[in-house]
Structure 1
Amino acid sequence: MIRVLLADDQPLVRAGFAMILDAEDDIEVVGQADDGAAALELVTALKPDVVLMDIRMPGVDGLEATRRIAGNDALADVRILILTTFELDEYVFEALRAGAGGFLVKHTHPGDLVRAVREVARGEALLSPSVTRRLIAEFVARPARPGLAPASMAVLTEREREVVALAAQGLTNDEIAAELFLSPATARTHVSRAMVKLQARDRAQLVVFAYQSGLVRPPS
């Protein structure tokens, strides 16, 4: 069962998301918060698998809440999916840098919401493929946080480098498998091993590493 916490200052948004997610047999909404401070308290107490975090909230906003959750070793297994009104919201970049595993626009289709929660819970997260290239291109152009990028991709095998490069282009594990004529399980294993070797917190950070190290170049 995937345990989800909703953090949004709009009751109607929370109610709508809760209705969609609770209708799934493998997903349970275990708590709701209307600001970042309340979200932090509930995350600490409940340790959900996934937090749907609105980026703009009164008091402690979603960015600061994300930063505190990602910086707490006791909450290392909690995945954060940022909710935003606009795909390239200024705060999205900072949230990803702070430790969020991906993002969704609030007007996303119900089916895409459910799929995203499942993917993030599996650690396969991410950035919506339709905007990955634009988002990463903008993201890597900004000053990097010290120590964020690995010194080299040399620790990866040639196959792992190929897999990471495709992930950086927004491909899912299934799409990577098809591209390289691998089984989905094998593609998933290569991604997981690359994350471990590069000490990436999640797949979103793995994608950032690919660009910051020069393995993949941002699209022009």
Structure 2
Amino acid sequence: MIRVLVVDDEALLRTGFQHILDASDDIEVVAAVSGGEAVRTARATAPDVVLLDIRMPDVDGLTVLAGLLRLPQPPVVAMLTTFDMDEYVVTALRSGAAGFLLKDTDPEELPFLVRALADGGCVLSSKVTRTVVDRYLQAGCPEQTARRLDRLTDRERAVLVLIAEGLSNTDIAGRMHLSTGTVKDHVSAVLGKLEVNSRVQAALLAERAGLLTPPQDLEPG
């Protein structure tokens, strides 16, 4: 059972997300609260995934994100926004958010996105991914990115490509014919060598470096 905490200042949106997700047999919304209650509620309920509004009147979503990630067992956090491009999104990604969703995401897609987050995937709304990639990386140094990528083994580079394609640990394991535990080890190595603290940051680096190619099955090695 995937435990989800919904954090938003709008009661109607909280209720809507809760009804959509609770309809799935493998997802339980443990609470739906406003921003001021988020960290305290997360500490009490231990959610696996938090869907967090990026802008709330009672507390800054980025402040809540930082508090959630400081918990002893931090949840996976995806930001919610109503904007096609929100300046806060870039800061949130740099701070360790696992991705972001537009609040008008198709209700049928929401459970699948939550499952992907719980399984280690990164989620970026397709409507704004390109803008985020450009703005997230525009101040970066291509030469520095290239040096970091050179640290990766061929196997780790293959894992990075699949991370950038949005695959979860389970999906990567199936694609590469590896155990999930081995994939987790490879992901940890990739994040360390790239000097990033989340899969979504690694995915954005791969996007900028032009590593995305049509997927292909890989033999174990």
TM-score (normalizing by structure 1): 0.78
C-alpha deviation, 1:57, in angstroms:
0.7
| Equivalent position SS for 1:17 | helix
1:203, CA displacement in angstroms?
Answer: 1.8
Listed as ranges, the matches of 1:114-133 within 5 Å are: 114-129=111-126, 131-133=128-130
Equivalent residue, structure 2, for 1:52: 51
How many Å separate the matches in 2 of 1:58 and 1:143? 32
Q: Cα offset for 1:142?
A: 4.2
Residue identity opposite 1:186 in structure 2: H
**Structure 2: where are the runs of 5+ without partners?**
213-221
Change (3 A) 1:216 1:38: same
Give % identity.
Answer: 40
Q: For residues 205 and 187 of structure 1, do their structure 2 counterparts lie closer, same or farther at Cα, with a shift above 3 Å needed?
A: farther
| CA deviations over 1:151-172 (Å, ceiling 9, x no partner) | 623442123214424543x453
TM-score (norm 2): 0.78
DSSP-derived class of the 1:123 partner: coil
Q: Which residue of 2 aligns with 1:161?
A: 157
Determine the C-alpha separation between the residues in 1 that align with 2:88 and 2:157: 30
What are the Cα deviations for residues 163-198 of structure 1, in whole angstroms up to 9, with x where unaligned?
Answer: 424543x45369x97xxxx94253885863442113
**Contact 1:126-1:203 within 8 A present in 2 as well:** no
CA RMSD of aligned residues (A): 3.0
Equivalent residue number for residue 98 of structure 1: 95
What stretches of structure 1 of length at least 5 have no aligned partner?
Answer: none
Q: Deviations over 1:26-70 (max 9, x none)?
A: 0001012112x2101111221100111001112322111112222
AA aligned opposite 2:52:
M
Kindly report which structure 2 residues correspond to 1:1-220, keeping only aligned pairs within 5 A, or say none.
1-35=1-35, 37-70=36-69, 72=70, 74-76=72-74, 78-129=75-126, 131-142=128-139, 152-165=148-161, 167-168=163-164, 170-172=165-167, 183-184=174-175, 186=177, 192-197=184-189, 198-199=191-192, 200-210=196-206, 215-216=209-210
